[in-house]
Structure 1
Amino acid sequence: MKILYGVQATGNGHITRARALLPELLQQGIEVDFMFSGRPKAKLFDMEMFGHYRWANGFTFTTARGKVKRFATLQQLKPLVFWRDVRQLDLSGYDLVLTDFEPVTAWAAKRQGVLSVGLARQYALRYPLAGKQSAFWLNTAVQCFAPAQHMLGVHWQPDYPDLLPPLLTQTSLQPYPAEPGQRPFILVYLPFEDTSVVINWLKHYPSWHFKLYSNISELRSEQNVTLLPLSRNAFPRDLQHCSGVICNSGFGLCSEALIAGKKLLIKPLQGQTEQAYNSYTLVKMGKAQQFNTFNPELLQHWLARPAATAYPLPEPAKAIARWLKQGCSVPVSELATSIWQGSRTL
């Protein structure tokens, strides 16, 4: 079997799922090619495992100071380039297209009649998760953006019959020894926010040490805040040994923090529907506290909260790979049930 795996690269969560699933696909003897879109190719990093991948412009959103800028997003869209890429993508050599909410591969599969599977958090938003009524337009929007014949949504609970647990890499799950003499710290990752605003907010509590990952080239310190460049090696280690996590409400990092048993302080990206749903769900589950402004008193209250407990979830990658290898012949609901039955949290 040979598949084309399309990955939406706007956020790192989609790429994390691809990193988690690829070894299991290869273990099943599946040949995999990749296409990434939604982020300039020059800004992709640590991509060696994906080989000679393809890249397309795709679609993404523009942000500033923690908010999606709708007008700026519309201005940078390139629909003619998108349809050119869809028409020019030849799928004749593939048995299946797997799309993690990547629109070029999804629409090319639809046009050429190739079997397609959607695997992404966004496919779960078709349902009223955690009791929050789904917006009437969401189901249509999801299917218009990245259509697929089989849609596998990922979620933290088996609320609906075709939702699966998160896919996380072994790098994020493996144990890391603590560094000798390392003092307690809070891990911070807020890529959509103004870094200077975040630093000034954290400086209100000099007795606490914060490790802030940001888009910089070299490590530096500002009083009680250590700024670090993005790293797929250092970040999982710090996630495992931190006392808590402050982040936007992206599905991937929040999933890793849940499983690692880290208390969460989350700031949803304003105007981004998925993050709003993620935040609502985590608060409803009692697994996170939400904030919308950089309020020092709120931070003080959260810092004083006790540590969280681990929230173990079953690992779905192996079962998904087998299901794909079998041609998706088993109903998605049966696949999901077989995976969740291994959960110790239900």
Structure 2
Amino acid sequence: MRILYGVQATGNGHITRARVLVPALEACGVEVDLLFSGREPDRLFNMEPFGDYRVYPGFTFVTEAGQVRRLETLKRSRPLRFFRDYRQLDLDGYDLVLSDFEPITAWASRRQGVPSLGIAHQYAFHHPIPGTESAPLLKPSLRFFAPVDDAIGVHWHHFNAPVLPPLIAPSPYPLTEEENKILVYLPFESVDETLYLLRDFPRYRFRIYCNIAAPERRGHLELEPFSRDGFQQDLCSCAGVIANAGFGLCSEAIQAGKKLLVKPLKCQIEQRSNAVVLEQLGLGRSVPVLEAAAVEDWLSQASAAPSRWPDVASGLAGWISSGRQVPIQSMADELWCTDSGNRLSLC
């Protein structure tokens, strides 16, 4: 079986899923080719495990000061390039197109009649998910952006729908908790504003990952360049995580039992919904604006217990390689009932 796997590279959560699912597919004898879109090639990091892969411009959104800039996003979109790319993408020889909310592969599969399967957090929003009630155009826009024959969403809860648990690898390092060490990842916020806010908490050691070339030390503020391995080490040893409300990092923090403070990206319905769900499930605290009082209150809170997710990647890879004969709902029920120490289990 040969699959073309398209990955939306705007956020690291999509790439995180691919890091887990590709080895599982290959273990089932599936040949996987990868295509990433939505980010400049030189801004991708730690991509060696994927071997040879293709990168296309695709579509992404423009952010500034913690908010999606819709007009700038529209101005910088390249519809003619997208039209050319998906029409010229040759799918001959592929048995299936797998799309993690990646539009070029999704539209190419529709045009060429190749079966397609979508696996992404965004596809969970085909079902009623808290925090999406005021977005009536969400479902149609999701279907238009990356249309697939069948779509499987992933989330922190099943919501009585055929939604799978997150595709997250087990923590790669021992889970410890260094007192007062806080991991910070706010790629959509101003770094200067983040530093200004956190300077007033000298009792805490903030490890801040941002777009810099080399580590910088400013007293209790420790700035780090993007690094998958370094980030994972800090995640496993920190006492808490301050982040935007992206799905991938929040899933990893929940698994590691780290307390979460999230500030959802403004004008981004996915992150707004994630923040609502985190609050409702008691998995984290959400604030519309990062302010000193909210940070101080959150820092005083205790961490939760680790909650390991089941091995979704192996189950999904086996399901795909065997021809997808079992209904998605049955696979979802089985995974949510897996005894993995997940306190959000269906059973």
Partner of 1:139, secondary structure, is helix
285, 296, 299: which one aligns with 1:303 = 299
User: For residues 192 and 172 of structure 2, what CA distance do their matches in structure 1 show?
Assistant: 33
SS at match of 2:32: strand
Gaps of 5+ in 2: none
Q: 2:172 aligns with which of 171, 174, 179?
A: 174
Percent identity reads 46
| 1:99-110 map, 5 Å | 99-110=99-110
Change over 3 Å in CA distance of 1:132–1:37 after alignment to 2 = closer
Deviates more, 1:301-310 or 1:23-32: 301-310
| 1:97 alignment counterpart | 97
Contact 1:126-1:134 at 8 Å conserved across structures: no
Quote the residue 1:268 is aligned against: 264
Is the deviation greater in 193-202 or in 154-163?
Answer: 154-163
**Which residue of 1 is the match for residue 55 of structure 2?**
55
Amino acid paired to 1:79 = P
Counterparts of residues 1-346 of structure 1 (less than 5 Å): 1-130=1-130, 133=133, 135-170=135-170, 173-176=171-174, 184-343=180-339, 344=341, 345=343, 346=345
Q: Is the 8 A contact 2:175 2:236 kept in 1?
A: no
The one-letter code of the counterpart of 2:47 is M
* 1:131 positional shift: 7.1
Kindly provide the CA deviation profile for residues 52-101 of structure 1, in whole angstroms up to 9, marking residues without a partner as x. 11111110000011000000000001111101001101111100000000
Letter of the 1:35 partner, please give it.
L
Q: 1:8–1:37: 8 Å Cα contact kept in structure 2?
A: yes
**Matched-pair contact (CA < 8 Å) for 1:28–1:322:** yes
- Inter-CA distance 326–54: structure 2 relative to 1 (3 Å threshold): same
Query: Partner amino acid for 1:107?
Result: W
Give the residue type in structure 2 aligned to 1:201. L
Partners of 1:132 and 1:36 in 2: CA distance: 27
Work out the CA distance in 2 between the residues paired with 1:208 and 1:255.
24
Matched residue pairs, number?
342
State the distance in 2 between where 1:132 and 1:50 align: 34
Q: Would you say the 8 A contact 1:314–1:339 is kept in 2? A: yes
SS of residue in 2 equivalent to 1:5: strand
Report Cα offsets for 1:298-333 as digits up to 9, x if no partner: 111111112222233212000110111122222211
Task: Say whether the 8 Å CA contact 1:128–1:134 is kept in structure 2.
Answer: no
Q: Deviations over 1:148-181 (max 9, x none)?
A: 11101001112133100101134xx1333869xx
Provide, for residues 84-125 of structure 1, a one-character-per-residue CA deviation record: whole Å limited to 9, x for no partner: 001101111100000000000000001111110000000011
SS in structure 2 at match of 1:34 = strand
- In the alignment, the residues of structure 2 paired with residue 238 and residue 197 of structure 1 have an alpha-carbon distance, to the nearest angstrom, of 22
Asked if the contact 1:166/1:315 (under 8 Å) is kept, the reply is no
Range with greater deviation from structure 2 (248-257 or 294-303): 294-303
Q: Hey, what's the Cα distance between the residues in 2 that align with 1:96 and 1:160?
A: 28
User: 2:55 aligns to what SS in structure 1?
Assistant: strand
Name the aligned partner's letter for residue 22 of structure 2. Answer: L
2:98 partner SS: strand
Aligned-CA RMSD value: 1.5
Aligned residues of 2:179 and 2:238 also touching (Cα < 8 A): no
Hey, what's the Cα distance between the residues in 2 that align with 1:294 and 1:177?
27
TM-score by length of 1: 0.95
**SS of structure 2 residue aligned to 1:211:** strand
Q: 1:206-255: CA deviations, max 9, x gaps?
A: 11111111111111111211001111111111111111100000000000
1:125–1:134 Cα contact (<8 Å) kept: no
Counterparts of 1:158 and 1:134, CA distance in 2: 21
- Contact between 1:161 and 1:337, CA under 8 Å: does it hold in 2? no
User: Any stretches of 5+ residues in structure 1 without a counterpart?
Assistant: none
